[in-house]
């Protein structure tokens, strides 16, 4: 069953056509890859799926609901798009606790568990401004998974991770898929895509095409 469906989506910002008649669907319980050079439209498509940007035309259905009509932002979705933003003078745990308070779906045990799963110590008092890029990236992933969403939207989630960190994250995402979750991932690394993805779509100048499925 398709959990994400994008139908004839176009996006124009100013005089620039960013997305051109995008038609694509993503099946539930699989890892789907998006590849393409910078400026090809990958991140904008992800932002449209998440409800952050409204397409100029077309429709996007996520888990049976039309984005922008039935829901402003799809529920049950964990997101990393661009560099995750956190309050720099709070600890990682305190940042996640603040974010978790927005929905009130989880408590401190789930927050701590998500941090441990991505290799972070929830009791570390260090402020996020003193985190390395890799630690920030792990914290972003912990934020994306802490409410146990059905769908993960991950834009370059391995940025700043060392070789061991990348290996750990790949294993984690594969285990997440085994739980029946759906992951849409954008990566510049051909190896990430080949190891993880069941389907791969390439974007070029706002046009999408399937290269593996």
**Are residues 8 and 71 located together in one domain of the fold?**
yes
DSSP β-ladder status, 57-62 and 2-13: antiparallel
φ/ψ (deg, to 5) at 194: -70, -35
CATH code, 12: 3.40.50.300
Mean pLDDT of 23-29: 97
pLDDT of 103 > 90? The answer is: no
The span from the CA of 48 to the CA of 184, in Å, is: 13
**Are residues 11 and 25 located together in one domain of the fold?**
yes
The span from the CA of 154 to the CA of 113, in Å, is: 20
**Are residues 62 and 90 located together in one domain of the fold?**
no
**Are residues 71 and 33 located together in one domain of the fold?**
yes
Counting the structural domains of the chain, the total is 2
Gap between the terminal Cα atoms of the chain: 14
- Give how far Cα 12 sits from Cα of 56, 60, 82, 102, Å: 6, 16, 20, 32
Per DSSP, the three-state class of 139 is helix
Host domain of residue 159? 1-76+151-213
**Are residues 183 and 125 located together in one domain of the fold?**
no
pLDDT bucket at 177, cuts 50 / 70 / 90:
very high
**Are residues 173 and 200 located together in one domain of the fold?**
yes
The span from the CA of 66 to the CA of 58, in Å, is: 11
pLDDT bucket at 213, cuts 50 / 70 / 90:
low
pLDDT bucket at 102, cuts 50 / 70 / 90:
confident
pLDDT at position 82 is: 77
DSSP β-ladder status, 16-27 and 182-186: unpaired
pLDDT of 66 > 70? The answer is: yes
> What's the gap between Cα 199 and its chain centre?
16
Measured over the CA atoms of residue 181, residue 11, residue 37 and residue 72, the dihedral's sign is: negative
pLDDT at position 23 is: 97
pLDDT bucket at 52, cuts 50 / 70 / 90:
very high
pLDDT of 53 > 70? The answer is: yes
């Amino acid at each position: 069953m398709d959990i994400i469906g994008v139908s004839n989506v176009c996006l124009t910002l100013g005089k620039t056509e960013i997305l051109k008649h995008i038609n694509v669907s993503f099946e539930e319980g699989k890892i789907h890859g998006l590849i393409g050079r910078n400026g090809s439209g990958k991140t904008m498509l992800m932002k449209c799926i998440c409800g952050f940007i409204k397409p100029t035309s077309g429709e996007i259905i996520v888990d049976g609901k039309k984005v922008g009509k039935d829901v402003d932002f799809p529920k049950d979705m964990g997101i990393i798009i661009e560099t995750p933003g956190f309050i720099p003078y709070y600890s990682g745990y305190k940042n996640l606790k603040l974010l978790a308070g927005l929905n009130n779906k989880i408590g401190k045990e789930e927050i701590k568990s998500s941090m441990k799963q991505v290799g972070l110590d929830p009791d570390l008092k260090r402020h996020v401004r003193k985190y390395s890029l890799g630690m920030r990236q792990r914290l972003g992933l912990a934020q994306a998974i802490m409410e146990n969403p059905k769908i993960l939207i991950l834009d370059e989630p391995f940025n700043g991770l060392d070789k061991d960190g990348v290996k750990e994250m790949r294993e984690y995402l594969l285990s997440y898929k085994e739980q029946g979750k759906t992951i849409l991932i954008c990566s510049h690394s051909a190896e990430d895509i080949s190891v993880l993805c069941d389907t791969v779509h390439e974007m070029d100048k706002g046009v999408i095409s399937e290269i593996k499925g």
